[in-house]
Amino acid sequence: MLVILLQLVITLVQSTTRTPECLHFSSKTQGNNHISQGFGKRIPKPTGTGNECSHNLSHWLWHETEHFRTWAMNSTFVTGVRDGTLHPTSFGIFMLQDAIFCLEMSKSFQVAANQLSDGSLKSLLEHEVKSYKRCGDELLTQWHIRNAPAIVVGAECQEYIDNHVNATRDEHPIYGIVAAIPCLRLWPWIGQQINLQNHQYGVYTDWVNYNFDPTYDGYKKLEVMTNEFYAKGLIDKDKALHYYAKSIEGEAAFFDSVKP
């Protein structure tokens, strides 16, 4: 019986995708020089002068949050699939939460889209609504889950979701795009780092190669939109950094929430 169960998990690992194509084929500052994390860690706030930003806000945001990328790269989930050592149960727990993450992101994007009557931003937001919904539904189907509300996500995943909900509920809809970029850019960046190490990933090889595809660049259209709005004076740089940093922190914390 144990052998049969293990074979089933391996099959799900090999077929489960939270792919870039699926999506894109688709807190306030506290204390001195710190961002309130909400994840049990306090990490120094970036201290750039602001002059580096120019009109390329997306590049500046990525640069200022490098420490979170390092955290994500060294997280239990990423190192576990990289080395082929992550316990199958932990992989399954992560993927089920990720399905809920995608579905909740879809709802959050819809909130932002509903604030606009037309235009390129509304079109991009509606595209994200459909992409994240499709991704979440596909994950649940792959794992034979019919009742999504029965899945309870962990605190790290929930706080990651909440950051995007706060952005789309409380701010101009463009901040929903800003807060979504880290999710789409971090995964291929991780793939680039892993490929440099030339690892074989055991049972996770197919999943890593597909989901951490280093050639994926679908995030760029969100960055283009972000930079256009910033150049027009419609994005506050510090506010953008707040939501962007909380999102990439959310990715890292979610990755690190699973047991080895």
Name residue, tokens 């970029």.
181
Read off φ and ψ for residue 6, nearest 5 degrees: -65, -40
Q: Identify the pLDDT of residue 52.
A: 54
Classify 61 as helix, strand or coil: helix
Annotated domain spans of the chain:
87-257
pLDDT at residue 197 in the model:
64
Whole-number pLDDT of residue 74: 97
| 41 CB-side CA count, 13 A | 14
Report how far residue 90's alpha carbon sits from residue 80's, in angstroms, rounded to the nearest whole number.
10
**What pLDDT does residue 10 have?**
54
Residue 158, SS3 per DSSP: helix
pLDDT per residue over 221-235, tens digit each?
999 999 999 999 999
Q: Which fold has domain 87-257?
A: Heme Oxygenase; Chain A (1.20.910)
* pLDDT at residue 200 in the model: 79
Kindly give the parts of the chain with pLDDT less than 50: 1-6, 20, 24-51
Round to whole Å and give the CA distance between 81 and 131.
25
Report d(CA 209, CA 192) in Å as an integer.
Answer: 10
CA 148/CA 144 separation, integer angstroms: 10
Rounded Cα–Cα distance for residues 167 and 105 (Å): 11
pLDDT at 46: 43
The token pair that represents 121 in the structure block: 């931003």
The letter for the amino acid at 60 is W
